[in-house]
Chains A and B, each alone.
Chain A
């Protein structure tokens, strides 16, 4: 009984912190319609800056905490003004999800440089001596954390209901254009709410810092749990965020204590997927903003100018020749990173079919890489299948998952689709760690054989290079052929105007499913090759942060053209290995590239190149014909 009480109280403590993060989410969502995936980053920022002020500089705890809140406010404000607000002006809601995902990566990368990769824990606010209540020993920090959340909730309620600023904020949330007409500076309210959310995030970090230890990439965890809380409670509802956070905290602790922590995580994510699909407004109603239900959620990012077929053919032959000849000139580490680039290229081409052509954002692409990778690794290591069969097993599993996911998300659009894929990715992450009997758990699965077929084993670096790039080339050609045809036009039509596509007889759900299947197949193939290449697979090689990396490569390279992924992969895989300082700051670099790419270069590098080619005076092929009969 006492144990149950202690666990429940532990759950409430954790839940009160989830609730704080969730309230930050709800604030930003209500005022801007954006799901701010960077919210968790401020939790880590708050905890680690407090640690530095308190432990390294020796400041008193209260001063250190206040200084950390001030730092979070300044950084939050700068991010809001320089990145978030410009993003809102330029990007559709789905683009904003990617932008904030990029911000999360950027923060992780920066934190890694400042604090390194070791975990930090803050001392409790009032000593380590617990208080005994009815036989259960309760740490004093529990009272602090629940108390802080209660104070924040009351203060927020007061500001929203009783002050002019609160009224302005609510007006912006209900109807931004009407608010503008009423003389409210909408931009200022947006910047303020983002900054306030940053401070709330930092406050949660200071509150949880003594309870759990945090490291540079801990933000993901809070983003995910804060988001699950707010999505279950009801996007944009403060009461829902509070209840969702507390409920999730208790559920998590009870599940972890009585079943297993993997069960608790899986349950939480499953709950999220069910909520997203069945009640996108959350369990407590209040919620989804009107514009999220817009019929045509076009997403105007990507390569606009196409390459002329002849130029494309010449470029393709030149690139193929370079790929074929490179091993003559390079070896060792360079050859190995080129091989990895080839594998990633296959995965990102698949993502391009889904995002760049069909316009469906996926933040869970790595999940299919994981399924293909683990499918192949488990089939060969645990059951002794030959490598080729391993690839086939991975493909079948990936396609089956893609069909199921696509069936349950068929009605979702825009950000909800992006979030459902994110949730799916998280689910696969937790299974990869949790099903340790099969997957080897967090430390990974060793002893995966090299790829071999018909008695030939691809054992050395050079043969692996040719294997990977040979497959990449075949995938490229097959996809290029398909995307150039009626099929590709149907996907591109769906991307920009689903209603017009329907009116032309294009079966939109079916074509989305096809795009999803193709992308899953490419990812799965890449995953299998990954496992054979490294002869090893661990969860972090194929987890959700990789999904964001794939998105980054696609966006910066140029969506909507198969050459874009190649440029993105070269930039993010090859460049950091070639330039050492960049390797140190790889995560930061990826974050900066995604954020910068979305804001400054939405057409990607390829888009810039093709636009430059198109601007050169082209041969004029004008042969006008007078209107005549209709030859149809």
Chain B
């Protein structure tokens, strides 16, 4: 039995010996690291490295083959995905998953489910407190939509928006849950330059408000500009970690990108 590294109170997420294989493909191979609380940590790596799989393991959407994940000291093993979200670990998906048939406002409101308190009968009988809660939620959602420049889209079906805006809606939906840790899977994919710049400002603002942010991202200039901490995953293995400057100078990282992907980090 290998000794478990002691993780300090500072770790929002502590991952130890995590492993996941799909048939013969080992997507995550004995990965261990910490995401310190209060940081904006980035995870980079070529396509197929296992980044999305890692997020699916953290939120128990996939069953782990081996290893443990603890969230602010609480082991996540055996918990359902929704229970994990209610603990304060909320994620977005690589391809935006806004709810079709629901408006932009309703999508964002759905993110506040974790904090909704009124029981069903209170809603049924239009209890004053339940109505007040709904109004407060709506106001918060509207304010957030305002802040990200989507108020005009409020009552549109969310899937009718351009993909970039859908990603913003999904981000807003996650942020409004006030998670302790926010997991973002390639939030800038599919965004144009202006939208990416807006996203960067948004991420910094979310981070400043005290949320730990753990982001998978391909856009190097975005990552290097805002991350405290960068982890590099390649073929299921963690091959490097450090400050953005360290990572940019790291030979193994450059090799991973030049060797496998066509895009060279800038």
Interface residues of chain A, those whose CB is within 8 Å of chain B, are: 298, 300, 302, 304-306, 478-479, 481-482, 484-487, 489-490, 492-493, 495-497, 499-508, 514, 560, 621-632
B245 at the binding interface (Cβ < 8 Å) = no
Sampled A-B contacts (7; CB under 8 Å): A306-B103, A489-B113, A502-B81, A503-B93, A505-B90, A623-B151, A630-B202
Among A302, A507, A514, A629, point to the contact of B147 (Cβ < 8 A). Answer: A629
Q: How far, in Å, is B109 (CB) from chain A's closest CB?
A: 6
Query: Which 9 pairs of residues, A with B, have the shortest CB-CB distance?
Result: A505-B85, A485-B123, A502-B81, A486-B116, A505-B114, A500-B97, A505-B86, A630-B205, A631-B143
| Bound Cα distance from A628 to B209, whole angstroms | 13
Which residue among B82, B137, B147, B176 has the maximum number of chain A CB atoms within 10 Å of its CB? B82
Q: How distant is A2 from chain B, measured CB to nearest CB, in Å?
A: 58
Please give, as numbers and ranges, the residues of chain B lying within 8 Å of A622 by CB-CB distance.
152
Q: How far is the CA of A623 from the CA of B150 in the complex (A)?
A: 10
Contact, CB under 8 Å: A505 / B113: yes
Count of A-B contacts judged by CB separation below 8 Å: 143
Please name 13 further chain A to chain B contacts, defined as beta carbons within 8 Å, in addition to the given A496-B99, A623-B151, A627-B202, sorted by A numbering.
Answer: A302-B101, A479-B124, A486-B113, A486-B134, A492-B99, A496-B100, A500-B93, A502-B82, A504-B82, A504-B177, A505-B86, A625-B146, A632-B176
Check B140–A631 contact: CB distance below 8 A: yes
Provide the residues of chain B in CB contact with A623, threshold 8 Å.
151-152
The answer to whether B173 touches A504, judged by C-beta atoms less than 8 angstroms apart, is: yes
Give chain A residues whose Cβ lies under 8 Å from the Cβ of B59. Answer: 503
Contacts of B93 in A (CB 8 A): 500, 503
Instruction: Choose one: B113, B124, B126, B209; the contact of A506 (CB below 8 Å).
Output: B113
By a beta-carbon cutoff of 8 Å, the part of chain B in contact with chain A is 59, 61, 80-83, 85-86, 90-91, 93, 97, 99-103, 106, 109-114, 116, 118, 120, 123-126, 130, 134, 137, 140, 143-144, 146-149, 151-152, 157, 173-178, 198, 201-202, 205-206, 209
B257 to chain A, nearest CB (A): 29
| CB proximity of B206 to chain A, nearest CB, Å | 6
Inter-chain CA distance A504–B179, complex, in Å, is 10
Q: CA–CA, A503 to B99, complex, Å?
A: 12
A632 partner, pick from B86, B152, B175, beta carbons under 8 A: B175
Bound together, the chains give a CA A590 to CA B148 distance in angstroms of 49
Residues of B with C-beta under 8 A to A499: 61, 81, 97
Q: Which residue of A302, A481, A505 contacts B82 across the interface (Cβ within 8 Å)? A: A505
Chain A proximity of B84: nearest CB distance (Å): 8
Residues of A within 8 A of B86 (CB): 505
Prevailing SS type, chain B contact patch: helix
**Within the complex, what minimum Cβ distance (angstroms) separates A44 from chain B?**
39
Closest to B100 in A: A496
| A625 pairs with B147, CB closer than 8 A | yes
A624, closest chain B residue (CB): B152
The residue of chain A having its C-beta at the shortest distance from the C-beta of B211 within the complex is: A632
Closest B residue to A302 using CB positions? B101
Residue of A nearest to B204 (CB): A630
Of the candidates A298, A487, A495, A503, the one whose C-beta lies within 8 Å of that of B120 is A487
B61 touches A502 (CB 8 A): yes
Task: Determine whether the beta carbon of B126 is less than 8 Å from that of A481.
Answer: yes
CA distance A501 to B113 in the complex (A): 10
Query: Please, how many angstroms separate the alpha-carbon atoms of A508 and B86 in the complex?
Result: 13
Point out the residues of chain B lying under 8 angstroms from A630, CB to CB. Answer: 144, 147, 175, 202, 205-206, 209
- Which residue of B is nearest A495, CB measured? B101
The answer for the CA separation of A501 and B201 in the assembled complex, in Å, is 27
Residues of A within 8 A of B140 (CB): 631-632
- Nearest residue (CB) in B for A507 is B82
Q: What residue of chain A has the Cβ atom nearest to residue B81's Cβ?
A: A502
Q: Which of A485, A500, A506 contacts B118 (CB 8 A)?
A: A485
CB neighbours of B126 from chain A (8 A): 481
Residues of B within 8 A of A485 (CB): 118, 123, 130, 134
- Expressed in whole angstroms, the Cα–Cα distance for A505 and B102 within the complex equals 18
The answer to whether A504 and B114 touch across the interface, beta carbons within 8 angstroms, is yes
Chain A contacts for B99, CB-based, 8 A: 492-493, 496-497, 500
Complex contacts, A482 vs chain B, CB 8 Å: 120, 123-124
Using Cβ atoms and an 8 Å threshold, which residues of chain A touch B124? Answer: 478-479, 481-482
Q: In the complex, which residue of chain B has the Cβ closest to the Cβ of A499? A: B61
Residues of B within 8 A of A502 (CB): 61, 80-82, 85
- Closest A residue to B139 using CB positions: A631
A632 touches B144 (CB 8 A): yes
CB-CB under 8 A from A626, the residues of chain B are: 149
Taking each of B85, B125, B144, which has the highest tally of chain A beta carbons within 10 Å of its own beta carbon?
B85
A534 to chain B, nearest CB (A): 29
A489 contact set on B, CB distance < 8 A: 102, 106, 109-110, 113
Q: Which residues of A sit under 8 angstroms from B101, Cβ to Cβ? A: 300, 302, 304, 492, 495-496, 560
Alpha-carbon gap, A14 to B175, bound state (A): 62
Bound-state CA distance A507–B118 (Å) is: 16
Min C-beta distance of A464 to chain B, whole Å: 26
Are the C-beta atoms of B103 and A632 separated by less than 8 Å?
Answer: no
Residues of A within 8 A of B100 (CB): 298, 300, 496
Bound form: Cα–Cα A507–B123 in Å:
18
Q: Check A490 against B110 for contact (C-beta < 8 Å).
A: yes
Assess whether B175 is in contact with A625, with CB atoms less than 8 Å apart. no
Other-chain contact of A504, B61, B90, B137, B147 (Cβ < 8 Å): B90
What B residues does A514 contact at CB under 8 A? 120
Interface contact B198-A627, CB-CB below 8 Å: yes
Nearest chain B CB to A620 CB, angstrom units? 9
B82: chain A residues at CB < 8 Å are 501-508
Closest CB-CB distance, B210 to chain A, in whole Å?
10
Q: Which residues of chain B have C-beta atoms less than 8 A from A305's C-beta?
A: 157
CA of A300 to CA of B159 in the docked complex: distance in angstroms? Answer: 13
Residues of B within 8 A of A300 (CB): 100-101
Q: How far is the CA of A300 from the CA of B114 in the complex (A)?
A: 26
The answer for the CA separation of A555 and B246 in the assembled complex, in Å, is: 60
Whole-angstrom CA separation of A629 from B116 in the bound complex: 24
